[in-house]
Homo-oligomer: A and B are copies of this chain.
Amino acid sequence: MMHTSTHAATGQHLLLDLYGCDAALLSSLEQLTLLIKNAAHRANATIINSHFHHFGHQLGVTGVLLLKESHMSIHTWPEHGYAAIDIFMCGDAEVDQAKTYLLAAFKPDQHTSQKINRGLYSNVFPPVPA
């Protein structure tokens, strides 16, 4: 849900673990930044801020997009062919569109995906009067 609304504060948090990915891709700051931003656009999310960090030659990358709808993050371990991605989106953003795009882009040999609903109990607390 958009932070600027007073709708129920619920969202979907997708944890995506990708195994057997190309090591060069997982060590490329430029490619990973592009892929994560593309995924956010596929989900119709709005990017507020982006920061990606490369730990060094042939080492991993860690990065995050702050979104109007929450965030996306990626952490990679090229030496294991492994990437941990999370996508937390509220409102009308389409988490599954981002997931589909990322699986096609990273081409993992195996992956696991867990979707967790957030903020389920927030309706027990009525909005605070302005």
Contact = CB atoms under 8 A, between A and B. Distances in A.
A103 interface: no
A66 B82 contact: no
Interface string A3-35: 110101101010101011001000000000000
Interface in A99-130: 109-110, 112, 114, 116, 118-125, 127-128, 130
Interface residues of A, number: 58
Contacts of A73: 64, 70-71, 73, 88
A48 B58 contact: no
A114 to B, nearest CB: 7
Nearest to A118: B84
Interface string A30-72: 0000000000000000001101010110111011101100110
B59 A125 contact: no
A17 to B, nearest CB: 6
A47 B118 CA distance: 25
Contact of A62 (B1, B9, B48, B112): B48
Given A17-B120, A80-B125, 17 more contacts: A3-B59, A9-B77, A13-B86, A17-B121, A19-B122, A20-B125, A49-B53, A58-B130, A62-B66, A77-B122, A80-B122, A81-B122, A82-B122, A82-B125, A109-B125, A110-B121, A116-B116
